[in-house]
């Protein structure tokens, strides 16, 4: 029997595509004028920025120090203050009486502003933002700390997220079961405990 759910934020509770035009406009402009990047790399990097933290995308596509620093300096001061809506099926998670903890990677101001605009702060017993500008901690470190502080075994926790290389990988390395939320089937070959196009399936897994 599970006692706790650990959730990711971006593309797990809400779709990043719903805010990317307002959120990433300036970052996309910086990438567009970067002469050292090919057009294909620019397209791929912008697409991946809707799913993964900026610093990881910058490293993967070799943005270089100057572009990476410009993007970091811009994003760490950004907040989002327009209306946001969770996925419809997030209501099923919200209704669960289990201990719920949010663990997200990103810039602190930006991630907190999303939480507030989504109106989900009260849904969680704890909210952890893994900010690469402030700490070397990883999601795996945070997950391990949660298990220890709440006296939970790995078998009593389910980690829910959209990224096989982030929260899913971190949980798997700790022996925690995982639920990959993949409504567009972007990761057909991902190694996970459970996978679904709908968060409604989480409750079926739990009970």
The 10s digit of each residue's pLDDT in 126-173 is 999 999 888 899 999 999 999 999 999 999 999 999 999 999 999 999
Torsion region of 87: left, alpha or beta (phi above 0 gives left; psi -120 to 50 gives alpha): beta
- Tell me the torsion sign for CA atoms 30, 35, 37, 39: positive
Q: Look at residue 77 in the predicted model and tell me its pLDDT.
A: 87
Mean pLDDT confidence for 100-121: 96
> Which pLDDT score, from 0 to 100, does residue 173 have?
98
**Total-model pTM:** 0.88
pLDDT at 194: 96
Q: What is the pLDDT of residue 26?
A: 87
Q: Can you give the length of the chain in residues?
A: 207
């Amino acid at each position: 029997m599970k006692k706790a759910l650990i959730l990711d934020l971006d593309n797990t509770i809400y779709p990043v595509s719903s805010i990317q035009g307002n959120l990433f406009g300036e970052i996309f402009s910086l990438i567009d004028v970067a002469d050292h990047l090919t057009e294909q790399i620019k397209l791929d990097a912008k697409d991946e920025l809707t799913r993964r933290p900026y610093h990881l995308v910058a490293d993967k596509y070799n943005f270089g120090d100057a572009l990476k620093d410009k993007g970091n300096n811009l994003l760490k001061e950004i907040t989002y203050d327009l209306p946001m809506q969770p996925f419809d099926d997030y209501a099923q998670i919200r209704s669960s009486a289990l201990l719920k903890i949010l663990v997200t990677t990103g810039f602190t101001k930006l991630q907190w502003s999303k939480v507030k605009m989504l109106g989900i702060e009260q849904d969680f017993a704890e909210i952890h933002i893994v900010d690469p500008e402030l700490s070397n901690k990883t999601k795996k470190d945070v997950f391990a700390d949660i298990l220890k502080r709440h006296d939970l075994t790995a078998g009593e926790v389910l980690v829910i997220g959209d990224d096989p290389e982030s929260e899913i990988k971190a949980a798997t390395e700790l022996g925690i079961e995982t639920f990959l939320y993949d409504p567009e089937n972007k990761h057909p070959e991902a190694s996970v405990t459970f996978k679904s196009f709908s968060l409604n399936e989480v409750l079926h897994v739990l009970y």
